[in-house]
Chain A
Amino acid sequence: MIAFAVFFIFSLLFYLVLTAGSGNIVFWAPEELFFGVLFAAITALLAKRLFQAMGIKPTARMLSPKRWLIFLVYAAGPFFYAMILANIDVACRVITGKIKPGIVKISPGMKTDFSTTMLANSITLTPGTLSVDVDKKGNLYIHWIFVKDKQPSVADICGSFPKWVRRIAE
């Protein structure tokens, strides 16, 4: 029931954001509101069944506003900075053609699937690294475009990211 409510609220909010400005009831036309509720209910029902079939248990962990605040600080600060560096890095490598690729393994030791996903996504968008695969123990296999060390530590690949991701998602 909680899963259904969360999915319903988020899908409805998303629909309302996309259709804002269509009419006179605050910002929305009556038919948009009607179909918004209808489609949000259908989406929530499908998503709930999908999550049940995959055996994912809903948690209330991400509902705390403190985590969202840290997430925003992380996204606007260290993450965005690393992304700009990553692009300049790729641009340099495109021009000079200086590459030494390889796939390395790191063990960040994240506790949940969600935090592993978030770390892998962050790694993909930061300088020189691209996550290729993950095994059952949560080890990440990273394609590194310029291998400096065949046995890198977690900090070599992703700097302070695990610390941030732990604070946000665990």
Chain B
Amino acid sequence: MMEIVVYALLAIGLFFQAMGAIALHRFPDVYTRMHGTTKCTTLGSIFMCSGVVVYGAVLAFSGEAQYAILSVHSLVAALFLLLTNPAGAHAIARAAHRSGVMPKLAVVDRLQEAKKDDF
């Protein structure tokens, strides 16, 4: 039973990670690619971490206490991914726009307009 849950969580995580990788390949420019990589890798990693959390917790409750630490570490890893991933994406997108990479196919670019009249 435990194996099924862990495999399901890993499979969902893997699916989202794969979507992130395909998005990186298919989208036209850096901003749209950041959409794919931040959202999909964050949720994918969270699902994979929760797979490890479930695995560690089940083993810990069945008497092998040293596995509890595995759960705790994965939980901390998931939490920090959730906190740092959007900040990293924001830094990359901001740096790209500052160094003059314009969004392709864009119908509107308010940031460029704001920069023109003295940001």
Interchain CA distance A83-B42 in the complex, whole Å:
9
Interchain CA distance A120-B22 in the complex, whole Å:
25
Interchain CA distance A94-B20 in the complex, whole Å:
9
Option from A14, A84, A90, A105 in Cβ contact (under 8 Å) with B36: A90
Q: Is the CB of B38 within 8 A of A132?
A: no
Interchain CA distance A18-B69 in the complex, whole Å:
8
Q: Is the CB of A101 within 8 A of B111?
A: no
- Asked if A133 is at the interface of the complex by the 8 Å CB criterion, the answer is yes
- A132-B97, A133-B97 are contacts. A121–B86 as well, Cβ < 8 Å? yes
Residues of B within 8 A of A130 (CB): 31, 34-35, 38, 89-90, 93
Question: Nearest-CB distance from B49 to chain A (Å)?
Answer: 14
Option from A87, A99, A133 in Cβ contact (under 8 Å) with B27: A99
Interchain CA distance A20-B28 in the complex, whole Å:
46
Q: Is the CB of B114 within 8 A of A84?
A: no
Q: Mask for A115-147, Cβ within 8 A of B = 1, else 0? A: 001001110110010111101000001010101
Q: Is the CB of A90 within 8 A of B35?
A: yes
Q: Is the CB of B26 within 8 A of A87?
A: no
Could you list 7 examples of A-B contacts with CB < 8 Å? A18-B73, A90-B40, A105-B111, A141-B110, A143-B103, A145-B35, A147-B107
